[in-house]
A and B are shown apart, each in its own frame.
Chain A
Amino acid sequence: AQSVTQPDIHITVSEGASLELRCNYSYGATPYLFWYVQSPGQGLQLLLKYFSGDTLVQGIKGFEAEFKRSQSSFNLRKPSVHWSDAAEYFCAVAFPGTYKYIFGTGTRLKVLA
């Protein structure tokens, strides 16, 4: 079955430290890949997306993600975290020819001052 796994439920980093959030998917072909961020009580905001081409994609707020086909992964990175990055992050996949999107269970990021 198609699935998205975010193995880290919670991550805590110090402000200024680097960040990597993991995302793995299970699907026979390369899906379309997304990262969203959600602040408490808010909707989801798109950070970045991958459809094809260059496997390193740049997003908003200084985030980037790298697609690795061999590992079925789409990890999100930021070189220096800011306190305002504290939020919940969701990885999602969409499958060509369908209307459905599948979301991971999210990773909650805490940033220490």
Chain B
Amino acid sequence: SQTIHQWPATLVQPVGSPLSLECTVEGTSNPNLYWYRQAAGRGLQLLFYSVGIGQISSEVPQNLSASRPQDRQFILSSKKLLLSDSGFYLCAWRLGLAGGRETQYFGPGTRLLVL
């Protein structure tokens, strides 16, 4: 069966510091991978998605970036965090099939607090 991991679970960082959040998926190959941010009362905002190694699509221009160095690894980064980067970050995957029929499955999330 497939499993998705995220770490760290919680992170407190000062403004201006760098960020690296990691997401890995087990039990599948060539998944589509997604990063979302969830702010209170605002649902889920899609940040990035990836259909393959090195292929990243950005949905929202901001000071975050994403990379996919391996098939089942997706990393969210920032060079300098802003206060507004605080939130709950969720990674998700789905089978790498076209057509949108496949379901997204979510990781446990990382809570980021920027002070």
Whether chains A and B associate is: yes
Q: Which residues of A contact B (CB under 8 A)?
A: 9, 31-32, 34, 36, 41-46, 49, 51, 90, 92, 94-101, 103-106
Further 4 A-B residue pairs, CB within 8 A, beyond A44-B92, A46-B103, A46-B104 = A44-B44, A92-B104, A98-B100, A106-B41
Given A99-B49, A103-B44; A43-B108 close (CB under 8 Å)? yes
Within 8 A of A (CB), among B70-95: 90, 92
Instruction: Return chain B residues, CB-CB under 8 Å to A101.
Output: 34, 46, 104
Whether the pair B106, A99 counts as a contact (CB closer than 8 A) is no
For chain A, what secondary structure do more than half of its interface residues adopt (helix, strand, loop), or is it mixed?
A: loop
- Are B43 and A41 within 8 A (Cβ)? no
CB distance from A74 to the nearest CB of B (A): 15
Q: A9 CB to closest chain B CB, in angstroms?
A: 7
List B residues at the A interface (Cβ < 8 Å): 32, 34, 41-44, 46, 49, 51, 57, 59, 90, 92, 98-101, 103-109, 111
Q: Are B107 and A43 in contact (CB under 8 A)?
A: yes
A-side contacts of B105, CB under 8 Å: 46
A97-B99 CB under 8 A given contacts A41-B111, A44-B90? yes
Instruction: Please state if B51 and A99 are interface contacts (CB–CB under 8 Å).
Output: yes
Indicate which residue in B59, B98, B101 contacts A51 across the interface (CB closer than 8 Å).
B101
B112 to chain A, nearest CB (A): 13
Inter-chain contacts of B57 with A (CB < 8 A): 99
With a cutoff of 8 Å between Cβ atoms, the chain A residues found around residue B51 in the complex are 99
Closest partner residue, chain A, to B59 (CB atom): A100
Residue of B nearest to A103 (CB): B44
Q: How far is the CA of A44 from the CA of B98 in the complex (A)?
A: 23
